[in-house]
Structure 1
């Protein structure tokens, strides 16, 4: 029981060490890998994507601003207004060439003097303060910045939602004389944003200076309103609106996912460019590897524990065998026999079956050692052990009792049968050729036989067998003497 307890205590500690070691290694590796991915996205991938998108915006969105600026400073346009707007075909041709050359959806001019609205198709209308659609012109007239970006409907293009670049036109003395610019349809811009998102695999959208979402791709059309009310984004809304033209790296959680964001203020638009990346997909392969490592580690742990249990059991059996076996003959030693004998006694008394013992000794064995050496003596002991094993039943137990003494325990064997078996052993040994020199002593054994009496002590039982053995020796050796519980003995 103690060996059993020690064995499983060892396995328990080994399991704890293995599991702890595997888990520590796997979890540490997972955390390091996940942090490396996050750091790579934050420090490299996301800023680089933001820079690339910003460059694309400069080409696709900021380009109309530059066109409008060129138009507002064009001497032809300013002179045409100053001299009285006499030839409408001239300004119409000019606006058409701008529209065609730069591939814009519209190009326009509104004169402060006449309030006329010109576009590539000619005179569209006369603006009025009382017309809600015209309020943009009076806002531009009174504003301080040179231009504004405005999303509005375009009457010249079937009221299509259009991003207008409204630029102030000043005369040579700096007085406001009109507003000019170009427009891009909102659909065109959303298509551009969609192309960015597909190319860079990021969510991209714009907010104005107050945090109101102004433009998204078609795949994000369900996102609208102020960012302060967006789930997750609301926690970092104040950090986004910092008017910093350098990219600001932020992070928020939404529906269990980690979202990394790069925020950048674009002064030309007075908008913020927001680029988001969900790193869940990037971390998912690491999570799969994490799960696989857990499974592999569990299997490895079970295999190691199984091999360890097998080795411990084998080693324990080996130790038990070594502890209970005579190393020279391979028979049970006296210590191991005592355990087996106690069980045999209990079995005999419980089942009321006979139990007998044969105790025998090699005659004049000391002379063999003295005359032929201990190696010859060892070979004889091994041979006698083998002869005895072959003479008895498999259920019978043969043990080396002492130096040249052997004991055979016979289960379910009455005295008469045990006596016959003892005679068989004596005869086989006496007739065996031990390959000793011709001048050597002829080897024989003396045997004592006893049957266990009910409730007899083991000292009494073996004492009677030992007495019978010595009687056999005293009566001339090479014989069997029987000891009976009634203390009578018969020579055989």
Structure 2
């Protein structure tokens, strides 16, 4: 069956295969080119631009604490309170609590250089000391920093949570250092900002300190520090030693591109990372969609072509097997069926041949158009008389044949007799010629014949005998 289908539609299948193969190969190369272009776009344009935008937004978000701390450092109430001996702790703690509440910061503080007291919204937190490493920031602000600094540290006032502090110098009108003031934002707040950026830019964002430890990230920090420490070390070392701002690496079978920059204000590395598969997926989906659409269109076209071929084949087959004038089977189709049926074990196979008596005279006297009308009318009577499964055909000229399977001798004769009478008595034929038209018939049933030609010869002799005996007869 498959071999038959292949042979029948061989050319169509080959052309379809070549078209499909060509389209898929072209689509694959287009996909590769699109992936390379997208990768270059991501590596050299999109990722650096996103990094710039994220850096700008981070600066904007961190500008608010800087502004608050700057206003605090110039607040005359606070400066006068320090100069007057820091007598009422409730005054400064209420002030710091109001700052914290008004600007929604996680902490607000003042550290006096005179008393070394660390004031916060609930009073005095501690007394600082040069020997305490956690107080190094204060002495750095006092001795090194010109105006302010930002740093990430643990906040004692907030259960040692990681916090970004903005530390401002407070000076009197003569420029003498009085204290350090500022506010803090917990990194959970900054982490939320980074997650918002991730949603906005579809990139992972992390802050990494100089010890190559992830401090803030849009992903799970503990997991990054635990599993990705090797990658982080390599990336930061490449950035520091080779000035590689944009790098590629593979992790867990996935390809990544990362852009790194150092933020002086925070003393941290900003890493903006994109997974290549995220962008490849969109191109892959487009590739699969295009291939699917192409295959659907090809299948539809194939179905239409096959439908057209089958219809055309049937039309040609019908044209090749049908007599154009009478719409009966022609001699060619009858010969094939006759030989096939003869060689099978069909019982009571009867062959009938008849022709129109004196048809040449009709043509000569009335013309070929009338002659053709006579043949058409006779063929109509022929079809109406015999059974649907009987094979009837126009043999040629005015000769007609019928092959009657599974029909006993008497019944076959009766059908032939009925046809002879119908033709003789048909009013339509009489109107054409103003006289009767008759037919002569020869019939024979298969007995000892060994070939279709032998049976046909018998029937032909019977027809000849019918004409010899005066026409309008049936010889069986």
- Secondary structure in structure 2 of the residue aligned to 1:222: helix
Q: Is the 8 Å Cα contact of residues 449 and 455 (structure 2) preserved in structure 1?
A: no
Q: What does residue 182 of structure 1 align with?
A: 182
Q: Which moved more, 1:386-395 or 1:98-107?
A: 98-107
- Secondary structure in structure 2 of the residue aligned to 1:61: helix
Instruction: Give the 5 Å matches for 1:353-364.
Output: 353-364=347-358
Question: Would you say how many aligned residue pairs link Structure 1 and Structure 2?
Answer: 467
Instruction: Give the 5 Å matches for 1:393-404.
Output: 393-404=387-398
Q: What does residue 106 of structure 1 align with?
A: 108
Instruction: Give the 5 Å matches for 1:145-156.
Output: 148-155=149-156
CA distance in 2, matches of 1:145, 1:241: 26
Match of 2:262 among 260, 265, 274: 265
1:380 partnered with 2:374: yes
Q: Is the 8 Å Cα contact of residues 6 and 13 (structure 2) preserved in structure 1?
A: no
Q: Spell out, residue by residue over 1:223-274, the C-alpha distance to the aligned partner (whole angstroms, 9 max, x if none).
A: 553996277x777555666898xx9666766667776655443222222333
Instruction: Give the 5 Å matches for 1:251-330.
Output: 263-276=260-273, 302-330=299-327
Instruction: Give the 5 Å matches for 1:68-467.
Output: 87-89=85-87, 103=103, 105-109=107-111, 111=113, 116-117=116-117, 119=119, 127-137=128-138, 148-155=149-156, 161-166=162-167, 180-186=180-186, 189-195=187-193, 197-198=195-196, 201=199, 203-209=204-210, 211-216=212-217, 220-225=220-225, 229=229, 237=236, 263-276=260-273, 302-347=299-344, 350=345, 353-435=347-429, 442-467=436-461
- Secondary structure in structure 1 of the residue aligned to 2:222: coil
Q: CA deviation at 1:377?
A: 1.3
With over 3 angstroms needed to count, the CA separation of the structure-2 counterparts of 1:372 and 1:250, relative to structure 1, is: farther
CA distance in 2, matches of 1:181, 1:396: 114
Q: Is the 8 Å Cα contact of residues 155 and 162 (structure 2) preserved in structure 1?
A: yes
Q: CA deviation at 1:287?
A: 7.1
With over 3 angstroms needed to count, the CA separation of the structure-2 counterparts of 1:201 and 1:252, relative to structure 1, is: farther
Q: What does residue 489 of structure 1 align with?
A: none
Q: CA deviation at 1:337?
A: 0.8
> Can you give the 5+ residue segments of structure 1 that lack an aligned partner in the other structure?
483-492
Normalising to structure 2: TM-score of the pair?
A: 0.74
Q: Is the 8 Å Cα contact of residues 151 and 267 (structure 2) preserved in structure 1?
A: no
> Aligned-residue CA RMSD in angstroms?
5.2
Normalising to structure 1: TM-score of the pair?
A: 0.72
Q: CA deviation at 1:359?
A: 1.5
Instruction: Give the 5 Å matches for 1:14-29.
Output: 15-16=16-17
Q: CA deviation at 1:277?
A: 5.9
- Secondary structure in structure 2 of the residue aligned to 1:387: helix
Q: Which has the higher helix share?
A: 2
Q: Spell out, residue by residue over 1:454-483, the C-alpha distance to the aligned partner (whole angstroms, 9 max, x if none).
A: 24322222122222222322332222233x
> Can you give the 5+ residue segments of structure 2 that lack an aligned partner in the other structure?
none
CA distance in 1, matches of 2:42, 2:300: 39
CA distance in 1, matches of 2:88, 2:50: 44
Q: Is the 8 Å Cα contact of residues 447 and 468 (structure 1) preserved in structure 2?
A: yes
Q: Which moved more, 1:139-148 or 1:440-449?
A: 139-148
